[in-house]
Amino acid sequence: MEKKNLQEMLDRIRAELSIFYEIGNAMRSTLKLEEILFIILTGVTSHEGLGFNRAMLFLINEEEKILEGKMGIGPHSGEDAGRIWTKIETEKMSLEDLIARYRHYKKGGSELDKIVRGIRIPLREDGGVLALSVLEGMGFEVTTEEARQKLAHDPVLQILKTEYFVTVPLKAKDKVVAVILADNIFTKKPITKDDIRTLTMFANHAGLAIENSRLYEQTVYAANTDSLTRLWNHGYFQYLLTEELKKAYENKTPLSLIMFDIDNFKNYNDALGHQMGDQLLRDIARILKTTCDGQGDVARYGGEEFAVILPNIANGKAFDIAENLRKAIESFQFKGQDVQPTKNLTISAGLATYPEDALDKEKLIYLADMALYEAKRTGKNRVCAYRSR
């Protein structure tokens, strides 16, 4: 009997080492945060991994002092679970096969994932069990009815419809960077001490992978942003436009490009000095980014010129967006704007659209610029679309 128990323990250790080795290799293959999170949660839920029904990951936002739902992997319903698990079994999908499905996952995302991404949890003692996992730096095991009843009013647990679960903090250099919640909501399989031990061991590796990924993305962000305005810089604008045009071509969708220029910027700069000019550029950038939020990517093209890339947006709607941006600038009370010839600070804009006006990046930029020059020539503080010239 003792020999049998020893063999079972050795088999379990071998299985755990195999899982950690395979997931570790996958995590070393990328530094992109979304891919890292997908690999981690796939490892927690895969039948060849830790085997939980669902896994949800929440990242710490230190600036806002909240936990943000970042990703959820697992079925949304019992019917969904049966369909997914039958497919995995029929196709004999390995952990490696499941990790390789990231591109497919990225296109749609599950219902669970959408729910998780909408969750924001304040990092306070009354923020619920997930917040406490961060604040106390330890996991919680809710595997009995008594423990579940104590947390019956936790709003996040109600949203996730979870009953018996485990939370585990993910640490990097003794600092909690994220929390995972895992459960067996559909199979009702009991969560054992071995399950929790394995998940905790795995969390230590996952925390370091997340921290390395975030440091990498911060470095990439710093390299691709304009130091003054914190918008995308010219080089990254060129890269983004190239990539978005590829997607527009593949998906047969429109893409519009708006070029903006501050009217009489030299006059403002000469009258009030470069420091005031710099502050004006920062203010304009903030207004453009806020007004464009969720619709497109804003970049500083150079000097006092800005660009907005609008994927999946045709000429008519793009014109309305450009007008909204122009009006937002015109109505804002900028410091020192009385020095301008019109006693107001304004912008002019030019617009061109793929594929109606141009089929390649260089021509699209050129035509948007030509439309901008037309707006300048015909009185400034206006939007001109290339097709309307």
Q: Residue 345 phi/psi, 5° resolution?
A: -110, 125
Which residue from 89, 93, 132, 113 is spatially nearest to 34, judged by alpha carbons? 113
Tokens coding 120:
């924001």
Q: Is 373 helix (H, G, I), strand (E, B) or coil?
A: helix
State the angle between helix axes of 274-292 and 315-331 in degrees (0 to 180), rounded to the nearest 10.
140
CA distance 196 to 165: 10
Task: Mark whether 304 is an active-site residue.
Answer: yes
How would you class 7 by CB atoms within 10 Å of its CB: exposed for 0-12, middle for 13-18, buried for 19 or more? exposed
Q: Catalytic one among 62, 244, 304, 330?
A: 304
Largest Cα separation within the chain, whole Å, is 94
Q: In the block, which residue shows the tokens 């019956």? A: 152
Q: Is 256 helix (H, G, I), strand (E, B) or coil?
A: strand
Query: Are the C-beta atoms of 227 and 278 separated by less than 8 Å?
Result: no
Which residue from 188, 174, 132, 189 is spatially nearest to 156, judged by alpha carbons? 132
Catalytic annotation, residues: 304
